Amino acid sequence: MIAALTTLTFSSPLFAEQIGSVDTVFKIFGPDHKIIVEAFDDPDVKNVTCYISRAKTGGIKGGLGLAEDTSDAAISCQQVGPVEVSDKIAQGKAEGEVVFRQRTSLIFKKLQVVRFYDKKRNALVYLTYSDKVVDGSPKNALSAVPIMPWH
């Protein structure tokens, strides 16, 4: 059991940097419910940064890491310098590749970001969604980054 938890906790392709948060519900015991804003750089595409806002459950269970966060999330990705796409991505061999994963419950639920390359429009498309071992959520958000010359 401990090995499984360790694998789930540390198997994230990438760790996000917390930019900020806002409280949404006051809790007398434990931390408040929040919306957290995090940023991460695409590990395989130089100079693309994505920002995610997601719900974080508070209270006693949330403070102990036992609560399940809701599937609500939003994403916005930007080009922050000259974009370099690898041959693997440009040839379509990395479609739907997970570029970010965050555990949102003790064991079974996670928030993921996957990347697609739209060759026709020369754009990177990032999709965020939540999945669960038994029952995922159709809630999702999308962000596209047109690959433009950088001046």
pLDDT score for 27: 78
pTM (whole model) above 0.85:
no
Q: Would you give per-residue pLDDT tens digits along the chain (151 residues)?
A: 444 434 444 444 567 899 998 888 887 887 777 889 999 999 999 999 999 998 887 877 777 777 777 778 899 999 999 998 888 998 888 888 999 888 777 777 788 999 999 999 999 999 999 887 666 678 899 999 999 988 7
Whole-number pLDDT of residue 1: 41
Tokens of 85: 């796409």
Burial classification of residue 133, based on how many CB atoms lie within 10 Å of its CB (0-12 exposed, 13-18 middle, 19 or more buried)? exposed
- Nearest alpha carbon to residue 93 among 101, 85, 104, 103: 85
Angle subtended at Cα 39 by Cα 56 and Cα 84, rounded to the nearest 5 degrees: 145
Residue 9 is predicted with a pLDDT of 41
Number of alpha helices (DSSP H) and beta strands (DSSP E) in the chain: 3, 8
Q: Mapped to the 3 state alphabet, what secondary structure does 45-68 carry?
A: EEEEEEEEEEEECCHHHHHHCCCC
Complete edge-to-edge strand list for the sheet that includes strand 45-56? 17-25, 33-41, 45-56, 73-85
